[in-house]
């Protein structure tokens, strides 16, 4: 009787663990591959050459828009929509809604993004507009996705969900190992090696 109950319990756990294991693996598979590859490229970033592409533009605000560069009364604030529209039309750079750093002489808008960066500067006395954007390529873009650098809140939330899926994947895998360990004698030695090896390397070679 007890053997029957044990088999039923084992069958129950196997069924549900397998279900959650494949669901979590399906959710995390593509991003896990991405993070594995970019983990390698980040670890060897010094050996991988990059050729940044820099684009610069200049323009001058018309007198009618110069009047809209009114001090907003605080150090950080966006420029007027009309000014932002003019800048985009002349430089191709969108600054609408982005906070700029206001000083007596100029407004400077930083444009950080994955795989590159940029800025727009507007002289409040002459109306001169200068912009610069830097594109470091797809590899830098993927590396920045790995780090969550300048990716915004939605990508940050996605990383959290992905991390949770990886935790479920690892824990269900560990429990499945436990259920199958009786038929696989090397299960726990291999698990122990996976735990001990990074600890030993960290203690001996990281200072």
Summary count for the chain: helices (H), strands (E): 6, 6
Asked whether the beta carbons of 78 and 100 are under 8 A apart, the reply is yes
Q: Which two tokens stand for residue 192?
A: 């122990």
Q: pLDDT tens track of the chain, all 207 residues? A: 556 656 667 677 777 778 888 888 888 888 888 889 999 988 888 777 778 899 999 999 998 899 888 888 888 999 999 999 999 999 999 999 999 999 989 999 999 999 999 999 999 999 999 999 999 988 899 999 999 999 999 999 998 988 898 888 888 888 888 877 777 788 888 888 888 898 898 898 887
Whole-number Å distance between alpha carbons of 101 and 120:
10
Instruction: Show the CA angle centred on residue 142, arms to residues 140 and 148, nearest 5°.
Output: 100
pLDDT of residue 2: 57
Asked whether the beta carbons of 28 and 169 are under 8 A apart, the reply is yes
Whole-number Å distance between alpha carbons of 144 and 137:
11
Beta bridge partners of 60: 128
Helix, strand or coil for residue 54?
A: strand
The C-alpha torsion from 138 through 136 and 96 to 127, rounded to 10°, is: -160
CA 196 to chain centre: 30
pTM over 0.85: no
pLDDT of residue 5: 52
Beta bridge partners of 129: 59, 122
* DSSP conformational letter for 184: -
């Amino acid at each position: 009787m007890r053997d029957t109950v044990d088999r039923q319990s084992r069958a129950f756990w196997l069924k549900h663990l397998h279900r959650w294991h494949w669901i979590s693996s399906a959710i995390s598979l593509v991003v896990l591959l991405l993070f594995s590859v970019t983990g390698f490229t980040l670890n060897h970033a010094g050996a991988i050459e990059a050729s940044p592409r820099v684009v610069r533009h200049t323009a001058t605000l018309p007198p009618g828009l110069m009047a809209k560069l009114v001090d907003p009364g605080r150090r950080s604030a966006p420029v007027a929509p009309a000014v932002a529209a003019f800048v985009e039309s002349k430089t191709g750079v969108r600054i609408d809604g982005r906070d700029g750093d206001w000083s007596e002489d100029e407004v400077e808008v930083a444009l950080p993004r994955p795989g590159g960066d940029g800025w727009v500067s507007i002289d409040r006395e002459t109306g001169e507009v200068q912009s610069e954007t830097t594109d470091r390529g797809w590899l830098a873009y993927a590396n920045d996705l790995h780090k969550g650098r300048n990716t915004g809140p939605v990508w940050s939330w996605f990383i959290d969900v992905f991390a949770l899926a990886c935790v479920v994947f690892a824990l269900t895998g560990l429990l499945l190992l436990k259920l199958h360990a009786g038929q696989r004698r090397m299960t726990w030695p291999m698990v122990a090696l996976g735990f001990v090896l990074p600890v030993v390397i960290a203690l001996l070679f990281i200072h």
